[in-house]
């Protein structure tokens, strides 16, 4: 199966994918602390989890990932998944790996799978529309960092 749960030995690959995604989005200065990230993902109280996609013809290679955490909808009264990041390396796109990652997320929750996307990402909009996903009208995302300087 081309989608699997990440394990602690995947931490270098996970961080590399996040950094590659940042470069793809024109943020060239992101450098993650591997040890800190390993603690958040694989420590005694994990805060998030990762699915990895592998190309069918190269089982040992990682082509992309979904970086997730659980959420809960009070109005639906069921858990859902927050997809913080979805990235498939450009050379592995158009083979259905992004769809497989999202299908696996959908299979893991009776609730909704939600994510944000940067405005102007026309390829992303087309991909998500093809899946049948809809933007959420009437909602604005806020971000509060009470301890930020």
Confidence of residue 119 (pLDDT cuts 50, 70, 90): confident
Q: Name the residue among 139, 123, 141, 131 with its Cα closest to residue 106.
A: 131
Q: Is the Cβ–Cβ distance between 15 and 32 less than 8 Å?
A: yes
Q: Report the Cα 3 to chain-centroid distance in Å.
A: 13
pTM for this entry: 0.90
Composition of the chain by helix, strand, coil, percent to 5: 35, 20, 45
Query: What residues does 79 pair with on adjacent strands?
Result: 72
pLDDT tens-digit series, residues 66-108:
999 999 999 999 999 999 999 999 999 989 999 999 999 999 9
pLDDT tens-digit series, residues 28-65:
999 999 999 999 999 999 999 999 999 988 888 999 99
* 69: three-class secondary structure by DSSP: strand
User: Which structural domains are found in the chain, ordered by start?
Assistant: 3-131 (3.40.630.30)
Q: What is the mean pLDDT of residues 117-127?
A: 87
Give yes or no for residue 140 having a pLDDT over 90: no
pLDDT of residue 17: 98
State the Cα–Cα distance between residues 45 and 1, nearest whole angstrom: 28
Phi and psi at residue 138, in whole multiples of 5°?
80, 5
Give yes or no for residue 149 having a pLDDT over 60: no
Q: Name the residue among 112, 93, 104, 103 with its Cα closest to residue 6.
A: 104
Give yes or no for residue 126 having a pLDDT over 60: yes
State the Cα–Cα distance between residues 102 and 119, nearest whole angstrom: 20
Q: Name the residue among 4, 25, 28 with its Cα closest to residue 14.
A: 4
pLDDT of residue 103: 95
pLDDT of residue 56: 83
């Amino acid at each position: 199966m081309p989608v699997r749960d990440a394990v602690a030995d995947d931490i270098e690959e996970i961080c590399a994918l996040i950094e590659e995604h940042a470069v793809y989005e024109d943020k060239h200065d992101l450098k993650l602390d591997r040890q800190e990230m390993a603690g958040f993902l694989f420590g005694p109280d994990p805060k998030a989890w990762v699915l990895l996609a592998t190309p069918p013809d190269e089982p040992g290679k990682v082509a992309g990932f979904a970086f997730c955490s659980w959420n809960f909808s009070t109005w639906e009264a069921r858990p859902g998944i927050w997809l913080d990041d979805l990235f498939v390396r450009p050379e592995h796109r158009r083979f259905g790996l992004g769809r497989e990652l999202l299908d696996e997320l959908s299979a893991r929750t009776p609730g909704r799978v939600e994510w944000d996307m940067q405005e102007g990402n026309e390829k992303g909009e087309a991909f998500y529309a093809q899946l049948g996903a809809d933007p959420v009208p009437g909602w604005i995302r806020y971000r509060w960092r009470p301890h930020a300087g």
